[in-house]
Amino acid sequence: MGKGRNTAPRDTQAVCAERELEEKKDAAGAREGQRRRQSPAERSRGGATKSPLVDAAKRCVARMELWPGIWPVLLLLFLLLLFLLPTLWFCSPSAKYFFKMAFYNGWILFLAVLAIPVCAVRGRNVENMKILRLMLLHIKYLYGIRVEVRGAHHFPPSQPYVVVSNHQSSLDLLGMMEVLPGRCVPIAKRELLWAGSAGLACWLAGVIFIDRKRTGDAISVMSEVAQTLLTQDVRVWVFPEGTRNHNGSMLPFKRGAFHLAVQAQSCPPIKTSIARRSVASLRGDVRYGCCPQCPQKG
């Protein structure tokens, strides 16, 4: 009995204590919930902590609320470009030219990406040049360039020969592709090999790369080419000025093309092909004159 009497108040005490504990827990939970619902800024305003590091972090978070996020900024930049590009296109001829050239290079890089797997089937092979040629022929229509070719019949149908041509701009590629004979590969500066997909496409098509700064190396490459010319029935296209020359005149010719013709002289005469008008303006007509072969042999 006494035992029973003693336990009753103790149980009541325990229940009371438990309730008190629960109430405290609920109040703490409510406070935490409220704190979570507050924004970081409110929180940072609210309770200044003792740690300066935590305070600095809080200030940082508060400041970030002013940053509108990446997408509005990107949208703003896009709208700015949308306004700026047409303005530059119509107001500045040099900007217009720059955009056209940028598209030209970008388009070639893109086409090269498409060409690479097709060319890769054959590996490095001069026949791949046909594929590149076909894929590049439409570019003149994009720019409204009309190409007029004269004297194409001067290219012999089968024998190996060296074609020499002046070089005014990277757009000469378009003219070259108009008249490029079968199994004909250009000689290009080595740097072109590193022009991304275009470099790889050129390599697959058998373009011959020379290092213009190392004359000795370039000469030995050209000597190998002379052998290939004879043994594998190929023609070579050389820009003997060795670089682009925009100002209409001709630079002194480098000698490699002529040594090449002499070294392979059992068959090749030199063909001369001069683009009469620059395509550098990216509009208008382009005349491509193919002259009869030079009579001299080395």
Ligand X SMILES: CCCCCCCC/C=C\CCCCCCCC(=O)OC[C@@H](O)COP(=O)(O)O
Nearest-approach distance from CB 146 to ligand X, in angstroms = 21
Beta bridge mates, 163: 237, 271
Close Cβ partners of 160 (under 8 Å, ≥ 6 residues apart): 229, 230, 233, 234, 235, 264, 267, 268
Among 113, 192, 230, 251, interactor with ligand X by CB under 6 A: 192
Nearest in space to 119 (alpha carbons), one of 200, 176, 236? 200
Structure tokens at 145: 């360039």
Segment near ligand X (CB under 6 A); pick from 22-30, 64-72, 193-201, 280-288: 193-201
Determine the size of the site formed for ligand X (CB under 6 A).
13
105 in contact with ligand X (CB under 6 A)? yes
Nearest-approach distance from CB 260 to ligand 3VV, in angstroms = 6
- The residue among 58 and 282 lying less far from ligand X, judged by its C-beta, is 282
Nearest-approach distance from CB 205 to ligand 3VV, in angstroms = 6
Beta bridge mates, 287: 148
113 in contact with ligand X (CB under 6 A)? no
Among 109, 113, 193, 251, interactor with ligand X by CB under 6 A: 109
- The residue among 202 and 290 lying less far from ligand 3VV, judged by its C-beta, is 202
- The residue among 108 and 204 lying less far from ligand X, judged by its C-beta, is 108
From the list ligand X, ligand 3VV, none, which binds 105 (C-beta under 5 to 8 Å, kind-based)? ligand X
8 A C-beta contact, residue 246 and residue 169: yes
The amino acid at 228: T
- The residue among 148 and 217 lying less far from ligand 3VV, judged by its C-beta, is 217
User: Which residues of this chain interact with ligand 3VV, rule CB under 6 A?
Assistant: 108, 111-112, 115, 132, 135-136, 167, 173, 186-189, 192, 198, 201-202, 207, 210, 212, 215, 218-219, 222-223, 238-240, 242-243, 254-257, 259-260
133 in contact with ligand X (CB under 6 A)? no
Close Cβ partners of 226 (under 8 Å, ≥ 6 residues apart): 260, 263, 264
Among 29, 46, 93, 196, interactor with ligand X by CB under 6 A: 196
Segment near ligand X (CB under 6 A); pick from 34-42, 71-79, 142-150, 189-197: 189-197
Return the residues of window 229-258 that contact ligand X according to CB under 6 A: 243-244
Beta bridge mates, 275: 288
* Angle value at C-alpha 114, between 108 and 118, nearest 5 degrees: 125
x/- binding map, residues 158-177, to ligand X, per CB under 6 A? ---------x--x--x----
8 A C-beta contact, residue 248 and residue 278: yes
- The residue among 202 and 279 lying less far from ligand 3VV, judged by its C-beta, is 202
- Quote the radius of gyration of the chain (alpha carbons, Å): 38
Nearest-approach distance from CB 230 to ligand 3VV, in angstroms = 14
Binding site for ligand X (CB under 6 A): 105, 108-109, 167, 170, 173, 189, 192, 195-196, 198, 243-244
